[in-house]
């Protein structure tokens, strides 16, 4: 469903060399992994990894083949892709293998490439490392492919592509999974038997996580646990499922059982396609064979999605992220000041979040450059919609930070402009609104000329996505410090700086944080409060930032964005509300591209940027019809 593959790692309780007992436990594990489409068991789990010289006994290897046959018969009619670890003979040599089974059929056998040659893990005593080329063997009466260059692909879910490596293969510099991924495997499974020692779990976790990130893949690591011999070692059953650098599921140590997670192969495929020039190399697929199977459907995605994907849920990570973003913004603007040798920074202060954040960044830049705060020309420009609260907060914030305050009332200038163009000031239309925004930008630009300054843009990423800016009004500046910061993150950046500053500055910034988001271009209500509320007009920013992240960063289809939004916002927004604003998002995103095609310079801070110079290139007259049809259908 929408590219989600439910994967399970199962560590059964085994008995060393008791192959039929182990087969029954594996079958129980398959039955217990209800709803899975991919199930992975540990290395050599059919026999047990710690058999020692018993691997040289024909009784054991014959018993393993009989046990595999039992597993095949028990899975007839089951369209799950299953990997079990077993010793397998090929050309009178013994190999440590991953056996792929589906619907009672052995699809292929993948031998281990790198055999450890240290400590108790001297596998070379019994096993042969994998050959370079694939071949065929007869196993359980079936002629099957044997080799490392095998990819298993679901014919009914083409992006569900899987390849296997075994334990040590992951720990070496030239892992087989590197080539598996380049040859098209979206999911790598690792059948492992890794002994537990102090500190090893952390290393193992980081290794699996980073391999999934490097290869842009899902990685299912299944480790042996209780039941293996403890003559010299202990095994903790440390199972891990990762996706592109994110840990989706992880077992507790010394707790045999099953973990599961939904891996998004559609997301992985999109990301690889985006970076195809660097990810794929000619010759990567040489010698690989694709083996098709039929997969069962995902009975229902149980994966969770954060409502604010741009904002870390962990408080410590959020603090680290906010400091890093502010440092990136500061670095970008500092470089521009040094290059232009500008004397002042000219910035419009509205009493809202975006201009507050931009002013805080300018303050950081001036501190680093050793420039006096008085060279920050902070301009308040009250007009028809300005309320007393936002006007007063603007002045308080400017004074707290030591900037030079300048107030320019635009009312008469705009009324005169209305007279020039023949506009009735009683008609509160787009002309009424945009004339104010353009007047303010004219004032800022001319003040910058007068003071030898740089006009600092305040608009954020969410506004760029929706085109919520007046063309050649607040749309324009000389450097835009917030252009890559989504609205849901702006609040956290401002709150973070407020806590750092403390005192009166924190008090006024807290009041700004609690103020309704508004451009204040329409007159206040009868009580003098903000009447024009942005989120009533364009929709909740928490929804739009969610749509932006998954639609633009990951390239999800509109129906998939809607599907995961319904999961994420269940109990917060009903389906009709999500549908309404999702359609609005796509309409506005396509219709407003012409504004993004000529935005000012601004530093990129995260994985989503809409700069036409390096990140998002789109024709201004592209049609949204296909995207909306996905929602209508």
DSSP-assigned letters across all residues of 44-70: TTTT-TT-GGGGG-HHHHHHHHHHHHH
Of 265, 240, 295, nearest to 9 by C-alpha is 240
Q: Is residue 37 part of a domain?
A: yes
pLDDT of residue 121: 64
pLDDT of residue 279: 66
43 assigned to active site = yes
Which element (helix H / strand E) includes 100? Answer: strand 93-102
Q: Which residues contact 163 (CB under 8 A, 6 or more apart)?
A: 110, 150, 151, 152, 176, 177, 180, 181, 183, 185, 187, 188, 189
Tell me: the pLDDT tens digits for 511-527?
A: 999 998 877 778 888 77
| Residue 196 structure tokens | 């537990």
| Residue 159 structure tokens | 């992006």
Decide: 291 and 152 in contact? Cβ < 8 Å.
Answer: yes
Q: Is residue 75 part of a domain?
A: yes
CA separation for the pair 265, 160 (Å, rounded):
6
Same domain, 286 and 329: no
Q: Is residue 305 part of a domain?
A: no
Using CA atoms, how far residue 311 sits from 38, 331, 480, in Å, is 31, 21, 21
CA separation for the pair 607, 614 (Å, rounded):
12
CATH code at position 114:
3.60.110.10
Q: Is residue 304 part of a domain?
A: no
Q: Which residues contact 276 (CB under 8 A, 6 or more apart)?
A: none
* Domain carrying residue 422: 315-632
Pick out the chain residues at pLDDT < 50.
none
Same domain, 153 and 69: yes
Domain count, the chain: 2
CATH code at position 328:
3.40.50.620
Same domain, 334 and 277: no
Same domain, 456 and 598: yes
Of 259, 280, 172, nearest to 216 by C-alpha is 280
- Predicted model pTM: 0.91
Same domain, 566 and 514: yes
Cβ neighbours of 159 (radius 10 Å): 18
560 burial type by CB count under 10 A (0-12 exposed, 13-18 middle, 19+ buried) = buried
112 assigned to active site = yes
Same domain, 320 and 468: yes
Active-site residue among 6, 8, 25, 43? 43
Q: Is residue 307 part of a domain?
A: no
595 assigned to active site = no
Same domain, 515 and 444: yes
pLDDT of residue 275: 82
Which element (helix H / strand E) includes 444? Answer: helix 430-451
Q: Which residues contact 160 (CB under 8 A, 6 or more apart)?
A: 5, 37, 38, 153, 154, 186, 187, 265, 295
Active-site residue among 25, 112, 209, 396? 112
Same domain, 418 and 280: no
Could you say which of 293, 325, 360 is where a domain stops? 293
């Amino acid at each position: 469903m929408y590219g989600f593959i439910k994967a399970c790692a199962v560590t059964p309780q085994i008995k060393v060399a008791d192959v039929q007992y182990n087969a029954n436990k594996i079958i129980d594990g398959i039955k217990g992994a209800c709803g899975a489409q991919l199930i992975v068991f540990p290395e050599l789990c059919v026999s047990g990894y710690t058999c020692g010289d018993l691997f040289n006994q024909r009784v054991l290897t014959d018993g393993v083949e009989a046990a595999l046959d039992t597993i095949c018969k028990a899975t007839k009619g089951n369209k799950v892709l299953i990997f079990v670890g077993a010793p397998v003979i090929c050309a009178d040599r013994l190999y440590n293998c991953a056996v792929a089974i589906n619907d009672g059929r052995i699809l292929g056998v993948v031998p281990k490439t790198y055999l450890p040659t240290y400590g108790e893990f001297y596998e070379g005593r019994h096993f042969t490392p994998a050959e370079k080329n694939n071949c065929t063997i007869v196993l359980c009466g079936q002629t099957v492919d044997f080799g490392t260059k095998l990819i298993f692909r679901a014919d009914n879910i083409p992006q569900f592509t899987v390849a296997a490596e075994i334990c040590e293969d992951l720990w070496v510099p030239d892992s087989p999974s590197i080539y598996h991924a380049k040859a098209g495997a979206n999911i790598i499974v690792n059948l492992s038997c890794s002994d537990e020692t102090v500190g090893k779990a952390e290393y193992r976790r980081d290794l699996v996580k980073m391999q999934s990130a490097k290869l842009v893949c899902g990685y299912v690591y299944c480790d042996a646990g209780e039941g293996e011999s403890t003559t010299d070692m202990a095994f903790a059953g440390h199972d891990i499922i990762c996706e592109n650098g994110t840990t989706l599921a992880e077992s507790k140590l010394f707790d045999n059982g099953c973990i599961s997670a939904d891996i998004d192969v559609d997301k992985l495929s999109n990301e690889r396609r985006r970076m195809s020039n660097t990810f794929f190399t000619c010759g990567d697929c040489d010698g690989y064979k694709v083996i098709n199977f039929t997969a069962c459907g995902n009975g229902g995605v149980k994966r969770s999605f954060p409502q604010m994907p741009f904002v870390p849920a962990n408080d410590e990570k959020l603090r680290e992220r906010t400091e890093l973003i502010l440092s990136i913004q500061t670095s970008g603007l500092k470089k521009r000041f040094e290059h232009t040798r500008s004397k002042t920074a000219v910035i419009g202060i509205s009493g809202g979040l975006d201009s507050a954040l931009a002013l805080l960044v300018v303050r950081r830049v001036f501190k680093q450059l050793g420039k006096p705060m008085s060279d920050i020309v902070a301009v308040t420009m009250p007009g028809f919609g300005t309320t007393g609260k936002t006007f007063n907060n603007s002045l308080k914030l400017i004074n707290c930070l030591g900037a030079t305050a300048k107030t320019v009332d635009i009312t008469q200038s705009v009324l005169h402009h209305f007279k020039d163009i023949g506009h009735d000031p009683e008609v509160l239309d787009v002309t009424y609104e945009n004339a104010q925004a353009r007047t303010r930008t004219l004032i800022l630009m001319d003040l910058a000329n007068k003071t030898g300054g740089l006009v600092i843009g305040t608009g954020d990423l969410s506004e760029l996505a929706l085109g919520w800016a007046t063309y050649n009004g607040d749309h324009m500046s000389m450097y835009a410090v917030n252009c890559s910061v989504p609205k849901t993150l702006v609040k956290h950046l401002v709150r973070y700086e407020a806590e750092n500053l403390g005192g009166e500055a924190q008090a006024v910034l807290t009041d700004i944080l609690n103020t309704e988001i508004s451009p204040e271009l329409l007159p206040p209500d009868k009580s003098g409060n903000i009447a024009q509320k942005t989120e009533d007009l364009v929709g909740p920013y928490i929804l739009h930032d969610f749509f932006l992240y998954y639609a633009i960063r990951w390239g999800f289809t509109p129906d998939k964005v809607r599907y995961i939004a319904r999961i994420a916002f269940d109990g917060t927004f009903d389906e009709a509300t999500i549908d309404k604003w999702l359609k609005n998002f796509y309409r506005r995103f396509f219709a407003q591209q012409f504004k993004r095609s000529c935005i000012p310079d601004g530093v990129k801070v995260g994985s989503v940027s809409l700069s036409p110079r390096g990140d998002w290139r789109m024709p201004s007259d592209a049609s949204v019809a296909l995207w909306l049809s996905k929602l209508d259908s």
